[in-house]
Amino acid sequence: MLIGGQHVALIFADIRLRGVMDGVDLAHEVRVRWPLLPVVLTSGHPLDEHMRQFPPGVAYIPKPWRPLNLLVAAEEALALLH
24-66 confidence digits (pLDDT tens): 999 999 999 999 899 999 999 887 776 678 888 899 999 999 9
Segment holding 59, helix H or strand E: strand 58-62
Question: Given this model, what pLDDT does residue 21 score?
Answer: 92
Question: Given this model, what pLDDT does residue 3 score?
Answer: 65
Instruction: Provide the residue ranges of all domains of the chain, joining segments of one domain with +.
Output: 11-80
Find, among 11, 9, 22, 20, the residue nearest to 59 by Cα: 11
**CATH 3.40.50.2300 at 11-80, yes or no:** yes
The structure's pTM equals 0.85
